[in-house]
Amino acid sequence: MGSVPGPAAGTTDAQTPPTPPPTVAGRGNGGAVPAPPGHVALIMDGNGRWAMARGLPRAAGHNAGAEAVRRCVQAAIKRGVRYLTLYAFSSENWRRTPDEVADLTSLLRYYLRHKVAELSREGVRIRIIGDLSRFDVEVRAEAKRAEDATAANRRLTLVLALSYGGRADIMQAAKHVALAVRDGTLDPDRLDEALFGRFLLTADLPDPDLIIRTSGECRLSNFLLWQSAYAELVFLDTLWPDFNEQHFDAALDMFARRERRFGARPTL
């Protein structure tokens, strides 16, 4: 897919509202800085194009993208973000060539096996959402071990969306609602958005405040469709392997300049 022409890396064409963002005490610089969003979600796009531009195999792009994940997690911790969700493997990724799927799952297995202890020392709790049944037994076991080993950590919840699709999430929730109504454990007249949300894979997580997509593409690609109803969206031209702390800060700055109204009239 071609890159959509847009602003320079780390920028967007979003309008800036006239109201100033909320601030908290500065972190180490003595000044006031915008309060960070509580939950940031990322669509990490551009690994393949990054590798192609350098004459490298796609696997090299995925490896470089894994390093960008490490930088992103560190930036989120430093900025005080409490929840970070990464679209690490979409349900549509299974349509890629067998070799690329094997590369992606091998990389996932490696990081789940060798990097969890490091994340745990940083106070990171790992949560995984998606249809893990499509992965092999080894990957499923590593995923469970990662969740169990980090369950007590509270500094940052790192949510990995693996074999995840937003439509599939809504569909499985609808099926569970239908079963609960059929079994007499749910009165359909009581069903509202909040109750429906308890059937989603993200029932224990807050909705994202900010969704960032890299590579210049401007769409959600089946990511957190229900949960992103009022999320702020930031699209960056930067390819994911090049994503760093400065890009993360730029996206948070854009978020701080937006006025979130949730359907209400703007403040005057």
Cβ atoms within 10 Å of 182's Cβ, excluding its own: 9
Active site residue 93: yes
Binding residue per annotation — 220? yes
Which DSSP state fits 228? Answer: T
Binding residue per annotation — 56? no
Binding residue per annotation — 226? no
- Residues with Cβ within 8 Å of 124's Cβ and at least 6 positions away in sequence, in order, are 73, 77, 150, 153, 155, 156, 157, 158
Binding residue per annotation — 48? yes
Beta strands in 101-260 (DSSP E): 124-129, 156-164, 210-213, 232-235
Binding residue per annotation — 114? no
Q: If 0-12 CB within 10 Å is exposed, 13-18 middle and 19+ buried, where does residue 196 land?
A: middle
- Is 125 strand, coil or helix? strand
In the set 13, 29, 45, 148, the catalytic residue is 45
Binding residue per annotation — 133? no
Q: If 0-12 CB within 10 Å is exposed, 13-18 middle and 19+ buried, where does residue 99 land?
A: exposed
In the set 93, 153, 222, 244, the catalytic residue is 93
Binding residue per annotation — 82? no
Active site residue 209: no
Binding residue per annotation — 253? no
Binding residue per annotation — 145? no
Binding residue per annotation — 46? yes
Percent helix, strand and coil across the chain, each to the nearest 5: 45, 15, 40
Binding residue per annotation — 205? no
Binding residue per annotation — 79? no
Q: Distances in Å between the alpha carbon of 11 and those of 174, 178, 251, 255?
A: 38, 44, 8, 11
Which DSSP state fits 134? Answer: G
Positions at the binding site for substrate:
46-50, 58, 62, 90-92, 94, 96, 213, 219-221
List binding-site positions for Mg(2+). Answer: 45, 232
Active site residues: 45, 93
Q: Pick out the residues of the known binding site.
A: 45-50, 58, 62, 90-92, 94, 96, 213, 219-221, 232
